[in-house]
Chain A
Amino acid sequence: MEELLDRLTVRDLRALAATLNVAGRSRMPKAGLVDAIAEILRDGERTSPPDPKATCRHLIRTGVRCGLPAADSKDTCVLHGGTNISDVMQPVFGRLGFDTWPALMRHLLSATYDNDPLGLDPVVAEMAWHLLNYLYRDYFRVEVEGIEHVPMAGPSVLAANHGGAALPYDGLMLPLCVANEAQAPRRVRVVGTEILNMLPTISHLYRKAGAAYATPEDAAWVLEHGHLLGVFPEGVRGFQKPASEAYQLKEFGTGFVRVAARYQAPIVPTAIIGSEEVHPTLFTSKGLARVIRMVFPEQRVEEVGVWLNPIPRPVKWQVHFLAPVTPTRSDRLSILEISEHVQTVIQHELDQMVEARSSAHGAEDGLES
């Protein structure tokens, strides 16, 4: 076999090495390439599985195949190109479970697969999905309606109301709604403020879990590549509402409409209830905001909500996805109109949801349901 390979030019050998994924091939001398390719081909003859679709054929080291289950109709697994990790949320083993963690950990630690350009780490994201599912199913008992409004493919935007005061639980639950309930489980690329980039540990975990930074460039990247963007157009102001203003939307920003208009992406108005009662805000403080601005000089927060319960309350959540609207024109007034339309639709739905909840259970915040 070596003799045959030796007759090829270095250029052809490089191309062959590229198809076989030989590590370090770009600077290997010709003899090294011949040896590495011959080794892989021989190894392939010896150990190729009866069903080539069963396991991932990606080489993680010279002569060592990945061996994880292959993704549908591909011969590589989720981590090595079997799915588009930026868009599709599919567990490596087809299901979530702690028994899959040792294998996932091995791949995480041996760094054999790529992150996506925004920094998503599919293994970290899957572990986060698995753990947060306990919060999603057993603690917040999230109920989803209208999941069919979330487009199955192509650039699209989920625009939701923001709440939570302590932690952006809605930012964590929104991607889970789509991953758990949708027919085609897409990854929602939620965007968050710069404070995420400043906080130790959070600074890299939020990226690895699949979120991005709320800047027009990041949003444009998500839509340009045909992925699903998640935004909270109220921003930090919505996050820090006092309890008396719960579910009263603050004015929406227009950035999300502008970027959606550029890529003709449908915007799905999303109404979430539950998030505002997890840490009910007693009052908002300007003094505390000043202290935060001293620690994080780049933060623009003007008021901070003060809450007392250290443990999130087990509120029942409801998430309603509403009929999408596609911005067709990108002049200033059309953008303002769409932004206002999305805000009105969400506000209307929120009012109905809160009313239905309190009349059904006679409860203020759904704790008894």
Chain B
Amino acid sequence: MQQILVTGAKHAPALAGALGYRELDEGAGLEFARQLVDEQPSVVFHLGPKSEALLGALGRVDQLRHLIVRSDLAVYGTGPRMPSILTPTSALQPASNSYERSLRRLEADVRAFAEERPSVSVTILRLAPILGDDGPLSDYLALPTIPSILGFDPRLQLLSLDDAAAALAGVIEQETEGTLDIAGSVPLYLSRIARLGGRRLRPLPEPIFRRLASLLELPDHLVDLLKYGRVVEPFNTAHTRDTVLDFYGTWKSSSIV
């Protein structure tokens, strides 16, 4: 019998909800680790940004067959020297914010764990930004006028919550190993995303945009993304346009209600 456990769900409540597996939330410090050892899960899906307690506890879970860790495409970094289409073997760009650095630490820890426990399948999922999860990017794209950086039109690949959950379920089912990029199948320029949503783009000089971004609570890694964009060779998922249209469709109807 497979026992699937989702940990760190509080860091991505919408995604955890869409997955629908049993959750074990990170308690204070070692309390969480003890609970995890007691549970003896066979599949662990970790959504959180930290891995010390998790990997420590998993060292004592003999039943463990498959560990899946959520990472983010932000791990690639972004910048003017980035290839136009990234693959899991592409070199990482110099990290320019703390989010990217913490993701790289997380991935390194998980890879070390994979070497220690060759009997466990380990999957690192690098997810594209998810639309409709009440995250900062969804809030930003839902603005009636979307501010952008003057002179830059980033290419973005966005995921819907359902697509992300479906891709994850597929990974659990097939026990896919290794590092996977999961993103919308066709990248769109930010200007087109705005047009699809019937919104106006308001380009602002970069310093002003950065100040506005801190007011909008848009984290640094998303500001960098909105300058240079990022495109990967995606996993088999829906077209970014469908995702965007659905996002704006539901946003519109819910705003009327």
A residues neighboring B (CB under 8 Å): 23-27, 109-111, 114-115, 117-119, 121, 194-195, 197-204, 207-208, 212-213, 215-218, 221, 298
Contacts and interface: CB of A to CB of B under 8 A. Distances in A.
Contacts of A197: 79-81, 228
Nearest to B233: A117
Interface stretch (B29-37, B48-56, B100-108, B242-250): B242-250
B246 A27 contact: yes
B80 A198 contact: yes
B186 A24 contact: no
Nearest to A222: B84
Nearest to B206: A200
B45 to A, nearest CB: 23
Given A110-B195, A204-B189, A119 B155 contact: yes
B151 A26 contact: no
Given A111-B195, A200-B151, A217 B80 contact: no
Main secondary structure of the interface of B (DSSP, over half): loop
A23 B151 contact: no
Contacts, number: 93
Contacts of A204: 152-154, 189
Interface string B137-168: 00000000000001111110000101100000
B187 A217 contact: no
Contact of A203 (B90, B152, B186, B246): B152
26 contacts: A25-B242, A26-B160, A110-B195, A111-B241, A115-B187, A117-B187, A118-B84, A119-B189, A121-B189, A194-B80, A197-B79, A198-B80, A200-B151, A201-B151, A202-B151, A203-B152, A204-B152, A207-B84, A213-B84, A215-B81, A215-B83, A216-B83, A217-B83, A217-B87, A218-B85, A221-B84
Contacts of B110: none
Contact of B85 (A27, A118, A195, A200): A118
Given A26-B242, A115-B155, A118-B84, 9 more contacts: A26-B162, A27-B160, A111-B195, A114-B186, A203-B152, A213-B81, A217-B85, A217-B86, A218-B84
Contacts of A26: 160, 162-163, 238, 242, 246
Nearest to B232: A117
B83 A203 contact: no
B16 interface: no
A24 B246 contact: yes
Given A27-B162, A213-B83, A111 B192 contact: yes
B248 to A, nearest CB: 10
B18 interface: no
Contacts of B242: 23-26
Given A27-B160, A111-B195, A199 B151 contact: yes
B227 to A, nearest CB: 9
A318 to B, nearest CB: 32
B186 to A, nearest CB: 5
A221 B228 contact: no
A119 B242 CA distance: 18
B83 A200 contact: no
Top 5 A-B residue pairs of the complex, sorted by shortest distance between their CB atoms? A200-B151, A217-B83, A197-B80, A204-B153, A111-B192
Nearest to B250: A27
Contacts of B12: none
A207 B19 CA distance: 37
Contacts of A217: 83-87, 90
A111 B198 CA distance: 11
Contacts of A216: 83
Nearest to A296: B80
